[in-house]
Structure 1
Amino acid sequence: MKPFSFCSEMVELSRIDINFTPFSFSYGFELDQITGSIQKVGLINSPIIKREQDRFIIVTGLKRILALKRLGWDKVEGHVIKQDIPPLECLLISLYDNITTRNFNHVEKAIILSRLSEYLPLEQIIQEYMPLLGLSKHRPILDMYLWIDRGVGDDLKMLIVREKLSIKALRLLFEWNIREEDLKIYAYILNNLKLSFNQQIQFIEYSYDICREKHIGLRQFLEASGINDVIENASLSSHDKIKRVMDILRQKRFPKLYNAERKFYEKVKKIGLPMGVSISAPLYFEAPHYKMLISFRDGKELRSKIAKLTGIKELEEIRDPWQEQ
């Protein structure tokens, strides 16, 4: 990129187009901090703008200009670059101006890569610009980020910006080519349930597998399974909603395993273990060993509980549910 020159000019804010912003990457931002900064010390760095007939296009400084409008300014001193500077040059000016002062969120990275792809070969973007954004030089990663910009709605994008959606979960949605309608449903679910990153992956994997196996849509499954009712139940806490939803998913995805676990814990409950003693099964009954947890205040209490346990003959009946006669 060649060095560029500009001239400083007082420009009316009304002449600066804030709707057509082909060189801006900012997404999901708040103006409070920059507005407060300008109120205290004024505008330190002038925006870079480009004249287009009777208006000006923002090259850098969208947030600054929006903050000035909020503060009621009428004019701003802008660095006006030459009209003959091509769009790619303007794009790179914006990129390098921003990359030295802040980190980009994943949606902003997607916007940058998408804009660059309009002017540059994909291989050049992979080799030169993805490392600049902290991304590995792999085509599938580029494809996912292009999809984020072009195929993901604002509701899901805001979850990404707020780091409420894991990149691994996002990759599943991309690789499985989830349709736009279902992406909106997933965004609604993930925004309302506050699932952990691992739970997000489970929710997406289980619901996707169930819908594919039963040949039904995601919306139909959520309604028929009762998951929608759980989410909309205002009397349930967030923790209870998550537990019930994940239980429903496991029951629908692994009905035999779910019933085996239920049967096992019902048997354990009937044994009548001493207070502070619990027995748990291995995950999915895959490991050979069960676990017993004993909570006690001192050695005397421990001996007492062990003595009670030795007298419970029903403990001998603990085994994998499908081994029972």
Structure 2
Amino acid sequence: MGNVEYKQLDIKSIDLTDTTFVITYGFTLTQLKKSIEKIGILNPPLVKKKSREQYSIVCGYKRLLVCQDMGIEKLRCAIMGQGIEEKDTFLTGLFDNLSHRVLNPVEKSITISKLQKYYSGEVIVKKFLPLLGLNPHYSVLDRIKPLSGLDAKVKDAVVDGRIDEGAAAKLLNFSEKDRELLFQLLSVLRFSKNKQNEIIDNSYDIAKRDGCSISDFLNAKGLKEILTDSDLNIPQKGNRVRYFLRKLRYPKIIKAEKDFMEVRRKLNLGDTIKLTSPPSFEGDRYCIEFQFENMDDLEENLKKIASIKHNKEFKRIIEG
């Protein structure tokens, strides 16, 4: 790293708005402040001179924020030699962070964005993604990289684990207004990772197919009635919202499902016989399962199953 000089610096001379070498995001200072109040700063922040009277932060961003908040005016700092290249300065800060903690998804995205200034995509994928605890694949790079460009509240939700990082990255495919609507929907209904992606994917496909904005159907009366229904709990609202969007996205499949369920009800097969359709009606293989306790049960179930072939409505569904 070259020579490092230790010196008392006026905190005002350290530019806390200059985050050229900073990757830290999504933190609280409460515990750190208590520690500094009790034992002081054991590890001086590392800075680098950027002009005659100003310094940039390399390591110790949170420590400096706490000192500023506490009204500390002067602080002993480690000052990097000015001959060190910008790339190596950034790597110093990065490896310092990686040596004592795991970065959150947004910090990994910030890191990748800053590494792009110095390295090719291939080098980032092969060398740096594994260092960040990520698989060395371009698909991973494409999933993580966009996160740093999201609104602060979405990034905070990713850090807190309320929004899946992959789902959050997809929000950048929408306008600011539509992004806000989708984020609010995901936040209120607290969907799982897979369901978050389902909601976003279906919304995107509907908007693209119909040439409309997300607000055109997320503000629809039917959806608002679901969200404001006080008789429904959050999981129930979530299931109905998913069905609402699936119905818009796949109207033919939803109609086929409803028709099949109605015909199955009319067949009156009882509780011991289970008749299921192909998943999403993509295929032509139906399934019948049944349980029996004795030979009489077996005979009765077989009679019910045999009667299905004479049902005109069921025949219409099967044969199209």
TM range (shorter): 0.7 to 0.9
The one of 157, 171, 188 aligned to 1:192: 188
The one of 313, 317, 320 aligned to 1:322: 317
Contact map agreement 1:153 1:184 (CA 8 A) in 2: no
Give the 5 Å matches for 1:275-294: 281-285=277-281, 286=283, 288-290=285-287
The amino acid across from 2:317 in the alignment is W
Of residues 49-58 and 243-252 in structure 1, the stretch that sits farther from structure 2 once superposed is 49-58
**Alpha-carbon separation, structure 1, partners of 2:93 and 2:161:** 24
Partner-residue secondary structure (3-state), 2:220? helix
**Alpha-carbon separation, structure 1, partners of 2:136 and 2:305:** 62
Contact map agreement 2:144 2:169 (CA 8 A) in 1: no
Give how far 1:220 is off. 1.1
Partner-residue secondary structure (3-state), 1:49? strand
Alignment partner, residue 113 of structure 2: 114
Q: Is 1:206 matched with 2:205? A: no
TM-score scaled to structure 1, two decimals? 0.78
Shift in CA distance, 68/314, structure 1 to aligned 2, threshold 3 Å = farther
Q: Is 1:262 matched with 2:261? A: no
Give how far 1:62 is off. 1.0
Contact map agreement 1:274 1:309 (CA 8 A) in 2: no
Alignment partner, residue 19 of structure 1: 17
Contact map agreement 2:147 2:165 (CA 8 A) in 1: no
**Alpha-carbon separation, structure 1, partners of 2:74 and 2:299:** 85
Shift in CA distance, 146/271, structure 1 to aligned 2, threshold 3 Å = closer
**Alpha-carbon separation, structure 2, partners of 1:133 and 1:112:** 9
User: Would you say how many aligned residue pairs link Structure 1 and Structure 2?
Assistant: 315
Contact map agreement 1:50 1:59 (CA 8 A) in 2: yes
The amino acid across from 2:63 in the alignment is R
Alignment partner, residue 163 of structure 1: 161
The amino acid across from 2:285 in the alignment is P
Give how far 1:38 is off. 3.0
Contact map agreement 2:181 2:218 (CA 8 A) in 1: no
Contact map agreement 1:59 1:93 (CA 8 A) in 2: yes
- Unaligned 5+ segments in structure 1 are none
**Alpha-carbon separation, structure 1, partners of 2:119 and 2:81:** 22
The one of 244, 257, 265 aligned to 2:240: 244
Q: Is 1:7 matched with 2:5? A: yes
CA RMSD of aligned residues (A): 3.7
TM-score scaled to structure 2, two decimals? 0.79
Give how far 1:6 is off. 1.9
Give how far 1:134 is off. 3.0
The amino acid across from 1:19 in the alignment is T
